[in-house]
Amino acid sequence: MSKGHQYIGVNDANTVHVNSVDQSDRKVPINLRQSGRTPVEMLISTRVRKSPYWHLAHQAGCWRATVYNRMYHPRGYVKPEDGGAMVEYDALVNHVTMWNVAVERQIQVKGPDAEAFVDYVITRDATKIKPMHGKYVILCNEDGGILNDPVLLRISEDEFWFSLSDSDLEFWLRGVNIAKQFNVSIAEIDVAPVQIQGPKSEDLMADLLGDEVRSIPYYGLMAGKVGGRDVIVSQTGFTGEKGYEIYLRDATLYAEDMWNAVLAAGKKHNLMVIAPAHHRRIAAGILSWGQDIDQETLPFQCNLAYQVPRNKAADYIGKAALEAARAKIEAGNPPFKLKMVGISFGGLPITDYAPDFWLIAKPGGDEAVGYVSSPWYSPELETNIALAWVPVEMTDSGTALEVWLPDEYTQGLPSNRIAGQVRDVPFRPSVNPNAREVAKTRGLDYAD
**What is the per-residue pLDDT across 206-241, written as a single tens digit (0 to 9) for each?**
999 999 999 999 999 999 999 999 999 999 999 988
User: What pLDDT is attached to residue 272?
Assistant: 98
Distances (CA, A) of 87 to 80, 97, 352, 359: 9, 11, 12, 28
Has residue 133 been placed in a domain? no
Per the prediction, the chain carries an average pLDDT of 93
Residues placed in the known binding site for substrate: 245
Tens of pLDDT, residue by residue over 254-288, are 999 999 999 999 999 999 999 999 999 999 999 99
Lowest mean pLDDT among 1-10, 59-68, 119-128, 163-172: 1-10
User: What pLDDT is attached to residue 411?
Assistant: 94
Residues placed in the known binding site: 245
Q: Is the pLDDT of residue 7 over 70?
A: no
User: What pLDDT is attached to residue 435?
Assistant: 55
Strand-pair partners of 391 = 338
Tens of pLDDT, residue by residue over 27-78, are 999 999 999 998 888 899 999 999 999 999 999 999 999 999 999 999 999 9
Q: Is the pLDDT of residue 427 over 80?
A: yes
Tens of pLDDT, residue by residue over 320-347, are 999 999 999 999 999 999 999 999 999 9
Has residue 206 been placed in a domain? no
Has residue 288 been placed in a domain? yes
User: What pLDDT is attached to residue 422?
Assistant: 98
Domain extent for 356:
283-297+337-441
User: What pLDDT is attached to residue 2?
Assistant: 42
User: What pLDDT is attached to residue 38?
Assistant: 84
pLDDT band at 11 (very low <50, low <70, confident <90, very high): very low
Has residue 159 been placed in a domain? no
Has residue 151 been placed in a domain? no
Has residue 363 been placed in a domain? yes
Has residue 66 been placed in a domain? no
DSSP for 206-259 reads HHHH-GGGGGPPTTBEEEEEETTEEEEEES--SSSSSEEEEEEETHHHHHHHHH
Selection from 90, 57, 97 nearest residue 246 by Cα: 97
Global pTM reads 0.93
Look at the chain and report how many structural domains it folds into.
Answer: 1
Has residue 161 been placed in a domain? no
Backbone angles phi, psi at 401, to 5 degrees: -155, 175
**CATH number for the domain harbouring residue 360:** 2.40.30.110
User: What pLDDT is attached to residue 1?
Assistant: 35
